[in-house]
Amino acid sequence: MAEGDAGSDQRQNEEIEAMAAIYGEEWCVIDDCAKIFCIRISDDIDDPKWTLCLQVMLPNEYPGTAPPIYQLNAPWLKGQERADLSNSLEEIYIQNIGESILYLWVEKIRDVLIQKSQMTEPGPDVKKKTEEEDVECEDDLILACQPESSVKALDFDISETRTEVEVEELPPIDHGIPITDRRSTFQAHLAPVVCPKQVKMVLSKLYENKKIASATHNIYAYRIYCEDKQTFLQDCEDDGETAAGGRLLHLMEILNVKNVMVVVSRWYGGILLGPDRFKHINNCARNILVEKNYTNSPEESSKSLGKNKKVRKDKKKNEH
């Protein structure tokens, strides 16, 4: 029993970290010990018309055998509309028993708000953020778009044609905007992959760059969908940053990405960051996955989590 509780606690912590990385300031910790959280959801981040706050408490049995305890807070949400939304959330839970579902819940609510905003009825007054406020918030996490010259210079000219021979050629590699915090810098690199050999090729190519090769850690994770067996081939590597690879892979699972590899390089600046380092690693990964359009719609995520639960671990064992 104790072992089961420990497993649930670990899965909860991984999901909480992933949600914080995905939603940033929209995610709020109300009581960390009691596992109570709140997320502000709107139909449009830049110009919100309809907004709702979802408050959740994670019981010890979640996600194994019990759903999150939730409360929907919005002055306009009443009667049948509230009942319909609640039924939708409970249906998502039933379809994905034993799985982490907070992401699916949030995006389902967002989808409802978007549909509502497309109706002719005017929305309630919502205070809009100014550009200056947005920039000030982003400055805490995102380095101005000035990657290190040696990293910025990486450019690969790869043919877009896809033949069987080219499947094992080096795929194109993209590089994200670095995040700097207390002299530590984090940067994500992304490449489409369809076989483990390409994973090795991408790593080899990245390590040809002296800046990346000198990073304190190069954490990575990948997910490859095997069409014939309808399973995922996936694996991760901490590279000395304990549990970072597993957390990165968990984020990719929640976002339901496939046929892609993400490497996050960290250059340690001499100041310990504590749990913030995992937030930055996931933020880097999430940003580049969104930028390159690897994230799916909530409906596709729900179908995938409900039907494609088979996952095949790559033969390589993690060292950390």
Greater pLDDT, 18 or 311? 18
On whether the CB atoms of residues 184 and 268 are closer than 8 A, the answer is yes
Q: Which residues are registered as beta bridge partners of 55? A: 38, 71
| CATH numbers and ranges of domains, the chain | 7-117 (3.10.110.10), 172-290 (3.30.230.30)
pLDDT tens digit string along 215-251? Answer: 889 999 999 988 877 888 889 888 888 888 888 988 8
On whether the CB atoms of residues 209 and 150 are closer than 8 A, the answer is yes
pLDDT above 60 (res 313): no
Q: Which residue in this structure is represented by tokens 């979640």?
A: 62
- The predicted pLDDT at position 309 comes to 45
pLDDT above 90 (res 265): yes
Which pTM was predicted? 0.51
- The predicted pLDDT at position 133 comes to 32
pLDDT tens digit string along 79-108? Answer: 888 889 999 999 998 888 888 999 999 999
pLDDT tens digit string along 59-82? Answer: 988 988 888 998 888 888 888 888
pLDDT above 50 (res 211): yes
Report DSSP letters for the chain, one per residue. -HHHHHHHHHHHHHHHHHHHHHHGGGEEEEETTTTEEEEEEES-SSS-S-EEEEEEE--TTTTTT-PPEEEEE-TT--HHHHHHHHHHHHHHHHHTTTS--HHHHHHHHHHHHHHHHTSSSPPPP-PPPPHHHHHHHHHTT---S---HHHHT----------TTGGGSPPP-EEPPPEEETTEEEEEEEEE-SSHHHHHHHHHHHHTSHHHHT-SEEEEEEEEEETTTTEEEEEEE-TTSTTHHHHHHHHHHHTT--SEEEEEEEE--SS--TTHHHHHHHHHHHHHHHHTT-PPPHHHHHHHHHH---EEE-SSPP--
- What are residue 76's phi and psi, to 5 degrees? -90, -10
